[in-house]
Amino acid sequence: MLSCSTPLHNIRDGIYEQAIADYDRAITLEPSEADFYGERARAYRRLNEYEQVLADYNHALELAPNENWPYAGRGLIYIWLRDINRARTDYTRGWELNPTNTYNGWMVEWLRMCEERADLETAGRLENIVAPDLEHYTTCVCRGVALWIRGDVEEALAELGSAISLDLEPWDVYFWEGMIHASLGQEEEAMAAIARALELRLPPVLLTPLRWLDKDRPDFYEKYVEPLLTRYNVLTRQKTGE
């Protein structure tokens, strides 16, 4: 089997076009290697070439239908395309194939929260997702959001804060910290956290739970949230994406 270390380094270094060219050559030599399509898809994603990303993940699934990672990768692209239904279907399938990949389960719940408001049942599902390792990133995020839903605000913020050092691009944490600060009426802290999440490439459709604030914090919603959601075309989002 060919080594893919060089194109992987190119992806990490931000040389995406070169990584794609490297994987093109690798695929020519070993067209049945699903990992090559997955890694090329990652490079295409960084260039926002979503049709190419979907094609590569689809091909990877043809070669490795029982692997969970192509479903997770394709699910993220559907999120960027604002297709929540397909995204949740893919993350659900990926989670079924590998229940130890708790991030798939977390994304299933976040996407559900884009469709319906969280409640105590949501908190229970989030708590059931978490891994036993207390330092696991997804564990901290799920526990933090569950604690907030249950009303334990200080513990929720502490749990989310502990997750930041565990991931290089923790847009999950910053968004949900923003939600918590917004629910408390802490305007500057809320908007700073949400802005940081967007800087880290939070897909805009995942801003949708901010719509809960329409009833909870109407002044904050009118002043900050509605303009933000309008800017990212979230208010007019349809379930199947536009």
Q: Please, are residues 156 and 145 in contact by the beta-carbon 8 Å criterion?
A: yes
Higher pLDDT, 141 or 9: 141
Of 1.25.40.10, 2.60.40.10, 1.10.10.10, 3.90.1150.10, the CATH number of 102-242 is: 1.25.40.10
d(CA 30, CA 2): 8
Q: Please, are residues 213 and 178 in contact by the beta-carbon 8 Å criterion?
A: no
> Does residue 196 have a pLDDT over 70?
yes
Write the CB contacts of 144 (distance below 8 Å, at least 6 apart in sequence): 156, 157, 158, 159, 160, 163, 173, 176
d(CA 147, CA 150): 5
d(CA 87, CA 54): 12
Q: Domain-by-domain residue ranges, the chain?
A: 102-242
The two three-digit tokens of residue 57, written as one number: 């993940």
For 30, other C-beta atoms within 10 Å of its C-beta total 13
> Does residue 183 have a pLDDT over 80?
yes
Q: Tell me the residue length of the chain.
A: 242
Compute the average pLDDT of residues 2-16.
Answer: 54
202-234, pLDDT tens digit by residue?
Answer: 999 999 999 999 999 999 999 999 999 999 999
50-91, pLDDT tens digit by residue?
Answer: 999 999 999 999 999 999 999 999 999 999 999 999 999 999
The predicted structure's pLDDT at residue 242:
39
User: What is the model's pTM?
Assistant: 0.87
The predicted structure's pLDDT at residue 130:
84
